[in-house]
Amino acid sequence: MFLTISTTGTRERPATDLGYLLHKHPDKSQVFSTSYGTAHVLYPEADAQRCTAALLLEVDAVALVRRGKGKGRGGAPDAALAQYVNDRPYAASSLLAVALSAVFSSAMRGVCNARPERAAEPLPLRIEVPALPARGGPDLVRRLFEPLGWAVTAEPVPLDTEFPQWGDSRYVRLVLESEALTLAAALRHLYVLLPVLDDAKHYWVASDEVDKLLRAGEGWLPGHPEQKLITSRYLARRWSLTREARERLELVRLAEADDSEVEDIDNAVEAETEQEERPTPLAVQRREAIVAALQESGAARVLDLGCGQGQLVQTLLKDVRFTEIVGVDVSMRALTIASRRLKLDRMGERQAARVKLFQSSLAYTDNRLKGYDAAVLSEVIEHLDLSRLPALEYAVFGAARPRTVLVTTPNVEYNVRWETLPAGHVRHGDHRFEWTREEFRAWADAVAERHGYDVEFRPVGPDDPEVGPPTQMAVFTMRKEAKAA
């Protein structure tokens, strides 16, 4: 099977920089061993104006059968002859995707020490795959690649050129062109979508495939219109893995959407205020109220659950009373932004020892969250479907069990006071609900009773005598008998 990647350039920015990005020298033909054959990397053309890198994968059909134990599509046993006579050596599939990942691993991560600026910027790219199995035809190929910024040419391959009346095969000749994508993004698209179009994998799909999918799909899969089909096919239609992947992708989508408007209605209000002395933004008031409540509790080791871009973590680091601060988020993009905001790579050793960032989903229990003095859920719960709240409740109050838990969420009654918010709308497009004060109190009281906490409620922001505050906060404190237990 065969794939080419081409780019164009100028004398000042030569196309041969592609060799640096791929970590493969254009003047050399290189060979790599894989589990199922041999991969060759060569350059049919390489000059300042145009450079093309080709990946040729020679598949050992016998090794494929022996290592695969005769398993075919979806794990079903092949017929005896089909084990040896099939399209695997010729058509792009998961075999080619795995070879891409192995041979161009650094390029797929966007790592290039020699040309870091080129690795981070879009390139004029043309990718050709002469024979691609497409279960769903050219239309599905376009539906998968076009939303990612590709101009797609998917030409059906006839079953037999001498007998056109037989119609087209399930294979297409694929050409992808774009000037808006980085090489790393292009390779990740291929890594996921080649086996999706083939609708088969040459190896057993285990639970670690979910992590592979989310890593390769970061930044594009959560919002892809064909996400359901992609996750189902990539994970060989294993229902439990597909469900887990879709739940995690949904949490990532919500987190990233929230990151893009992290101050949501607060920024809108601040932008509209033209006076020389502007009021303190609600987001700042919220962080101040959280810090004050944490100080009252005497907490030293604090979890920021759903930390987003790290604004609260940054605030807590300024107070030496907080000796350990852990930011947790499902979105790697959010954690990367938080790391940059905090300047972790340039932070002094003593300060760096106080802060940690790691990825985790609040819909699942995580032993790393146990043993902390306090946990904060600031503007988090409203981004979950109501059906997912019991899972979050158990993960935080039932499994992690910090002594103090702070939960803030919008007060929907106050929305009538926002002049910029149309009637009947929630404050953020990804809010699944916004509670009244009575609804929030009912939920918090029930959670406290189930898990051995006392709870009190505090306003955040101006407390309107008619509709209450813009943000409502619940302060959960573990009862003495629950601590003893």
Query: Does residue 15 surpass a pLDDT of 70?
Result: yes
Taking the C-alpha atoms of residue 116 and residue 106, their distance in angstroms, rounded to an integer, is 12
- Asked which of 116-125, 175-184, 252-261 is least confident by mean pLDDT, the reply is 252-261
- 3-state secondary structure (DSSP) of residue 407: strand
Q: Which residues partner with 299 through β-bridges?
A: none
Average pLDDT, the chain: 85
Residue 129 near residue 174 (C-beta atoms within 8 A): yes
* Entry pTM: 0.54
Query: Does residue 99 surpass a pLDDT of 50?
Result: yes
Beta strands in 360-451 (DSSP E): 374-378, 404-410
Q: What is the pLDDT of residue 269?
A: 41
Q: Which residues contact 250 (CB under 8 A, 6 or more apart)?
A: 222
For the stretch 265-312, pLDDT in tens is: 444 444 443 443 457 788 899 999 999 999 999 999 999 999 988 999
The order of strands in the sheet holding 471-478 is: 355-359, 324-329, 301-305, 374-378, 404-410, 471-478, 453-460
Q: What is the DSSP-derived secondary structure letter of residue 398? A: I
For the stretch 42-71, pLDDT in tens is: 999 999 999 999 999 887 766 665 655 444
For the stretch 356-391, pLDDT in tens is: 999 988 888 999 999 999 999 999 999 888 998 999
